Amino acid sequence: MSRTVVGIDVGGTFTDIAILEDGRLRVHKLPSTPDDPSRGVQQGVVEAAVTGAEFVHGSTVATNALLEGKGGRTALVTTKGFEDVLEIGRQNRAELYNLNLERPPPLAPRELRFGLPERVDYTGAILEDLTPQAVEALASLVQQANVDGVAVSFLFSFLNPLHEEMVRSALEKLPRRPFISISSRVLPEFREYERTSTVVVNSYVGPLMARYLGRLEQSLGHGLRIMQSSGGSITARLAAEQPVRTILSGPAGGVVGAFYTGVQAGYPDLITLDMGGTSTDVSLCPGRIKETTAATLGGYPISVPMIEIHTVGAGGGSIARVDAGGALVVGPQSAGADPGPACYGKGDQLTVTDANLVLGRLRQEHFLGGRLMLDRGRSMELMARLAGQIGASVEQAALGIIRVVNSNMERAVRAISLERGYDPRRFTLLPFGGAGPMHCCELAQDLGIPRVLVPTHPGILSALGVAIADVVKDYSRTVMLRGDDIQRSRLEEEYHGMEGQAQAELRQEGLPVERMTPRRFLDVRYQGQSFELTIDYPASTRRADLGRAISASFYKAHLQRFGYADRAQPVEVVNLRLKLELAVDKPSLAPEHVGPADPSTARLGQAQVVFASGPLATPLYGRDKLHAGNRIAGPALVLQMDSTTVVAPGWGAVVDPYGNLVMEQVSE
């Protein structure tokens, strides 16, 4: 039976569409519509002639609403006396030596934070009951406040959610019902500040996300799934209830697609580099996709599971300028999709894309397969103006922009590799996004990375990752067990309770629970430590050895992450985590027979391209005309609809059996 799955990734500049039809892939790309992203999605589906398909969407709606401060008017309901937890926070400083550091404003302003007389202790016992009269008074205040969303986060509600459920029931009966989030459903874990921040973010972006998904479902149908930050998809209904789980939706799809490509090509140890129009997202995959539950976006802590991704404001649309001190600065501001880089013909901001065009690394006649003609003269004019400001030639100014943006990306790669105990020289760099393959050789050379793997369709890899993502649902529970309390019977009881809850919820969504695979994890720390590391639940040990097995796994993880482990110190199990996965069929690409090395049949011509060593005559190749076994000597440009790959001088590339470009430095 024919089956079509469409992956859609909406970025800051382009909307990418990957269509999988019975294991075959075709792609489409068009400019995003920032005023209403769903409009670009609908337009792309029509242009790509997609019918009768399942849709999986990587969304940036929640991300942009949070970063741009465009979420709904949000109220917070909490235990009386704890209304200011959002502003008190952890009292740590993001920039230690910045005396004028301004923290982002709380998403629930002071006048919309309501404290109720109730109290639950650390065992879950009720010390002060919440009265119906207090709940009714709150409902009246919320109605008068005319809010869009309400977040409810009581002390120790993760142990006893009764009071939060009472508030939820009352608010659901209001004539103008707001979007409601309660922490015992969104994040039933300890750490009051992070839990409260996460549930407030959920209610802040919830109304906007619910409307957006509603419009998409009307146009695309009810088979729509949404990508989560953790690398798995969920139904649109669940995403509308807990949009905080989609905050890094698009970048997560990119890592999933990159890891799938790397494993298929035989390179599972990857550093992924997603350079789009607005930002660059990097992630380290040491034979697996790494997750975290301690992330911050826009200054707001978010503690749901998400792929470990480091983002910097370095994209093709990043704006280049000279600061007050006369230094060349690139980003983090971006020209976005509208007006876009100067060469798009609408705006007058000089960007990284303009620099690549001036240097000849981007070919105006081949951009988007010739569908969008770039204005090189406009880029040259603005580059000449910038060059005059810094006392350089036009080519030197353009090369300076490339060096600065590469330096920004290099710091990001170091942050997720060297600063985490991993040597980048042991990994393969996998660049994607529209701009990633243009910068990959120089970046790899600066970092000592020996190999670059450019996928067949780098510009739409995030959309491919979204399309092939498994259906995943995450659950967690705080237990706080140490010493003799760490018993298999207790842990099994807790896990069975979580699995029962998960099965009931997933059946309501119409998902085949019997086909979903459960995976168990533990958050463990040294007793008294203020943070945890996540390890696999040791399921095969004998009952008496469970504590020792957990300790051994934790010591190993601690040694990898921090370079030391004190095996004499006892450990504590803080949270239990459950991940239910429904595997989705992946495209089974048959490897192509390796043919001759000569790539001359794919050659399109020659052009002058400027590199650090000066202008060089550079062959141009069509990516769709290359075949397995073809070898290309740098310098060279490999052109395709969704991206351009720069094979730098001193580098060589070979096409592998799956159509990927494997690039390495040529030995002298």
Q: Confidence class of residue 5 from pLDDT cuts 50, 70 and 90?
A: confident
Q: Contact at 8 Å (CB) between 216 and 209? A: no
> Read out DSSP for 380-406?
HHHHHHHHHHHT--HHHHHHHHHHHHH
Mean pLDDT of 186-190: 92
Length of the chain (residues)? 668
Q: Note the pLDDT of residue 654.
A: 96
Neighbour-count burial of 644, counting CB atoms closer than 10 A to its CB (0-12 exposed, 13-18 middle, 19+ buried): buried
Q: Confidence class of residue 130 from pLDDT cuts 50, 70 and 90?
A: very high
Q: Note the pLDDT of residue 31.
A: 81
Strand partners, 606: 619
Mean pLDDT of 262-286: 91
- Please name the fold of domain 74-203: Rossmann fold (3.40.50)
Q: In percent, how much of the chain has pLDDT > 90?
A: 51
Higher pLDDT pick, 204 / 222: 204
Contacts of 237 (CB under 8 A, 6+ apart): 509
Q: Residue 297: is its pLDDT beyond 50?
A: yes
Mean pLDDT of 461-484: 89
What's the CA gap between 60 and 12, in Å, rounded? 8
The model's pLDDT over 317-331, given as tens digits with 9 standing for 90+, comes to: 888 998 888 889 987
**Amino acid symbol at 317:** G
Q: Note the pLDDT of residue 667.
A: 67
Q: Note the pLDDT of residue 2.
A: 57
Q: Contact at 8 Å (CB) between 311 and 279? A: yes
Q: Note the pLDDT of residue 24.
A: 78
Strand partners, 286: 269
The pTM score is 0.88
Q: Residue 601: is its pLDDT beyond 50?
A: yes
**Residue 587 CB neighbour total at 10 angstroms:** 17
Angle at 191 between CA 104 and CA 177, to 5 degrees: 65
Mean pLDDT of 22-46: 82
Q: Residue 240: is its pLDDT beyond 50?
A: yes
Q: Note the pLDDT of residue 33.
A: 82
Higher pLDDT pick, 588 / 203: 203
Positive or negative, the CA dihedral 230, 234, 240, 241 is negative
Q: Note the pLDDT of residue 164.
A: 95
3-state SS, one letter per residue, for 266-299: CCCEEEEEEECCCCEEEEEEECCCCEECCEEECC
Q: Note the pLDDT of residue 337.
A: 66
Q: Contact at 8 Å (CB) between 332 and 312? A: yes
Q: Contact at 8 Å (CB) between 252 and 306? A: yes
What's the CA gap between 228 and 247, in Å, rounded? 8
Ramachandran angles phi, psi of 590, nearest 5°: -80, 130
Ramachandran angles phi, psi of 462, nearest 5°: -65, -40
Domain 4-67+210-249 classified CATH 3.40.50.970? no
Neighbour-count burial of 332, counting CB atoms closer than 10 A to its CB (0-12 exposed, 13-18 middle, 19+ buried): middle
CATH number of 471-582: 3.30.1490
Q: Confidence class of residue 47 from pLDDT cuts 50, 70 and 90?
A: confident
Q: In percent, how much of the chain has pLDDT > 70?
A: 98
What's the CA gap between 191 and 195, in Å, rounded? 6
Q: Rounded to an integer, what is the distance from CA 508 to the centroid of its chain?
A: 28
**Domain ranges, ordered by start, for the chain:** 4-67+210-249, 74-203, 471-582, 600-665
End-to-end, the C-alpha distance of the chain in Å comes to 54
- Summary mean pLDDT of the chain: 89
Q: Contact at 8 Å (CB) between 418 and 633? A: no
Sheet containing strand 614-622, strands side by side: 603-611, 614-622, 636-640, 643-647
Q: Residue 668: is its pLDDT beyond 60?
A: no
Q: Residue 642: is its pLDDT beyond 50?
A: yes
Angle at 158 between CA 154 and CA 159, to 5 degrees: 110
CA-nearest of 207, 408, 182 to 312 is 408
Question: The tokens 């799955």 sit on which residue?
Answer: 5
No. of H helices and E strands in the chain? Answer: 16, 34
Domains 74-203 and 471-582 share a fold: no
Contacts of 578 (CB under 8 A, 6+ apart): 474, 475, 476, 495, 498, 499, 502, 518, 519, 520, 521
Mean pLDDT of 217-231: 84
Bond before 635 cis per omega within 30 degrees = yes
Greatest Cα pair distance in the chain: 82
Neighbour-count burial of 51, counting CB atoms closer than 10 A to its CB (0-12 exposed, 13-18 middle, 19+ buried): exposed
Q: Coil, strand or helix: which one is 17? A: strand
DSSP 341: S
Angle at 195 between CA 192 and CA 197, to 5 degrees: 105
Mean pLDDT of 526-535: 89
Q: Coil, strand or helix: which one is 309? A: coil
Positive or negative, the CA dihedral 379, 380, 381, 384 is positive
Q: Residue 12: is its pLDDT beyond 80?
A: no
The model's pLDDT over 248-257, given as tens digits with 9 standing for 90+, comes to: 888 899 999 9
Q: Note the pLDDT of residue 1.
A: 44
Tokens read off for 203: 């209610």
